[in-house]
Structure 1
C-alpha cells in the first residue's frame, strides 16, 4: 500500500499522541508540522523526528509532499482550516467537534466530494480494540439485551478564563468539546436510529456549559444518559446494563479494559492494551485513502452530521 504522508496543523496537546499513532501505523508518516509560532512547530517537530516545520498554516497547505492534513486547531477554526486544506487538494482528518453547525459540515463534505478528496471527523474511540470487543459483545448478547447505558466523564477546565474553551461562540463548553463521544460511540456500538434526544446544562459565569447531560433514545430499545463535567470530578466510565448483567468500561473514550459482572456475581475481566490510542484510527484512514474512498464507512458523513445536529439543537435550547 502507498505510504500516506501527513501534515499536522497546530501544536495542541493532542498532537504528540496523534503523531505517535501515525508513526506506529503500517502506512503512515508525518512529514510536516505547522504552528502560528515557528519555534513551537520546530521544537515539536524535532522532538518527534519530523523533518519539516512551518510557522504559517498556508505553507503547510501548499506542501506538495503532504497527502492528508490532520486538523487539531481550536473548534471555531475547523471550518476555515478544513476548507483551506481541501482547496489545496489535501485529504482532511479534523478533530471533534467536526464543525459547530450542520451548515458548515454540509459545505465541507460537499466541497470535498467536488474535489474528490477524503474527509473524516477524528473519533479514535470507535476504532479501539475494546470498542470492537464491546460491539461484538452487544451483538452476541453477552449480558443479554441492553436497555440502558450510563456514561460519565470529567475534564478539568483550567483556570485561564480567557481561553477559547470558555467562549461559547468559539465552541467552548462541554457539549461542543465532548458531546460527540457519547453520540458517535453509541451510533457505532448499536448502529440503530436515534429517535429522540435532549440535553440540559449549568451555564457558567463566562457563558459556556460547565456541566451537561445528554439523553438519547436509540430505536426505542436503548436509553442512553451521559453527564459531562468540567466542575465536579465525577467518575470516568460507561456502564452497559443488560438483563443478564452489566459491562463496565472505564475511560470509555480511550478504554483498555472492561469488566463484565453477571447477575450471579461472576466477574470477568477483559484487557486489550495498546501502545497508541490513535494507531487504529490512523490505519483506518490510510486504508480508506489507499482505496480511494471519499468518506469512512465507520465515521461516515451521516454519523458526523447526525451528531452535529443533536449537539446544535441542545446548545440552541440552552442558550436561548
Structure 2
C-alpha cells in the first residue's frame, strides 16, 4: 500500500488551487448526521457546492435542504441521480444501503464518494468496483484517514525507512455507548456491530502500511441479535514478518490510539489516531520528534476528501491514488474474514448475486 504518493502538503489547504476552473456540484444522498457534517464542511470549500439532496421522504429531504440552503430536494434516490446539474454524489446512507445507492449512481454514470465501511461485504464491494470500472466512472471510499495530511506524512516517513522494517501495528477504536437493542448498531440487517462502524479504522490503518494480511485471527463478544459488541483481531503478514493487534468496541471507551513499531524505531499516535493532529517519532539515539500539521490547518473536517474528489474529477481520473479501490476491496476481504472467524453474519451475506 505504501506506493509513491503526491506531496502531502497538497492537501494542507482546503482549496483546490492548481487545477482547472469550474464549480464541482455535489448531490448528497441521505440526510443523517454524517451527511450534515459533509454539507457543513463543504461550505468552506471554494469552487464547490451542494446543489441537491435526496432522502427516502420528501419531508426529510426538504428539511435538510432548508437547513443548508440547498436548491433542490428529492424524496427518492432516482430524482437525485437523474439531476443533470449534479456532478458527483456523496453516498451517506448506512453501509447496508451503500451497494444499492452507489450502484444506482454508477449505473447512471454519476461519480460517487461512498462512506465507509465501503459495503456490507466483499461481494458487494466487488460488484461496485466492477461496475465503476466497466462504466469508467469515478468511485472512491470516503476513508478520510488516508487523506489526513498527518497520516500522509507518517506513511512517507515509513516508506523512507524512518523506523526500519515494520514489525507490529497496534490500533483500537471503541465507544462506550450504550447502544440499546433498537439502535442501528445492534441490527444485523443494517450491518450492525463494532467491526464495520469502528473496526474499519484500525484495519484500514494497518493495511495502509502493510497491505492485505495473509493470516486473520479474531475473537468477539456478540450481542443477543448476533452482532459484535467487541472484537479483537490479530492480523499477520508472513512475507513482511509483521503482525497487527487491533480492537474495536461499542461497549467500551478504548484509548483510540495507534502505534507502529519497526526495527529502527516507532511512531505513536495519541487519542483519535484515525484523524490525528500529530504523532511522535522515536528513534534510538535521538530525541523524540513530533510531527504536526501547520498551525491553523483544520483537521477535523471532511474537506480533504472533498478536495481529492474534485482534483480527481478535474484530472479525468476514475480512481484516487490515495484511496485506491483495490485497497478498499482488500479491507472488505479482511472484514469478511474477521466476521467469519467470530460468527457474525448479515442477511445480505446470503443474497445470491443477480
TM over 0.5: yes
Aligned to 1:24: 44
Could you say which residue in structure 1 is the equivalent of 2:214?
195
Runs (5+) with no aligned partner, structure 2: 1-19, 345-354
Q: Aligned in 2, Cα 1:87/1:243: closer, same or farther, shift over 3 Å?
A: closer
Contact 2:230 2:247 in 1 (8 A): yes
Bigger CA drift: 267-276 or 171-180? 267-276
State the partner residue of 1:168: 188
Aligned-residue offset at 1:311: 1.0
Question: What residue is the counterpart of 2:229 in the other structure?
Answer: 210
Specify the SS of the correspondent of 1:212: strand
* Alignment partners' CA distance in 2, 1:242 and 1:114: 40
Find the counterpart in structure 2 of residue 178 from structure 1.
198
- Find the counterpart in structure 1 of residue 123 from structure 2: 103
The within-5 A match list for 1:109-258 is 109-190=129-210, 192-218=211-237, 219-250=239-270, 251-258=272-279
Which of the pair is proportionally richer in strand? 1
Contact 1:21-1:276 within 8 A present in 2 as well: no
Is 232-241 or 107-116 further displaced after alignment?
107-116
Pick closer, same or farther for the CA change 1:160–1:202 going to 2, 3 Å: closer
* Larger deviation, residues 238-247 vs 291-300: 238-247
1:88 aligns to 2:88 (yes or no): no
Q: Residue 27 of structure 1 contacts residue 286 of structure 1 at CA under 8 Å; is this kept in 2? A: no
SS at match of 2:33: coil
Alpha-carbon distance between aligned partners in 1 of 2:188 and 2:285, rounded to the nearest angstrom: 47
Structure 1 length-normalised TM? 0.90
Aligned length: 319
Task: Report the secondary structure of 1:14's partner residue.
Answer: helix
Which secondary structure state, in structure 1, belongs to the residue aligned with residue 37 of structure 2? Answer: helix
CA deviation vs aligned residue, 1:201-220 (integer Å, no higher than 9, x gap): 11122211000012222343
Normalised to the residue count of structure 2, the TM-score between the two structures is 0.82
C-alpha RMSD over aligned residues: 2.3
Unaligned runs of 5+ in 1: none
Task: Note the alpha carbon deviations across 1:174-230, whole angstroms, 9 max, x for none.
Answer: 11222322232233334x452322222111222110000122223433311111111
3-state SS of 2:101 partner: helix
| CA displacement at 1:40 relative to structure 2 | 3.3
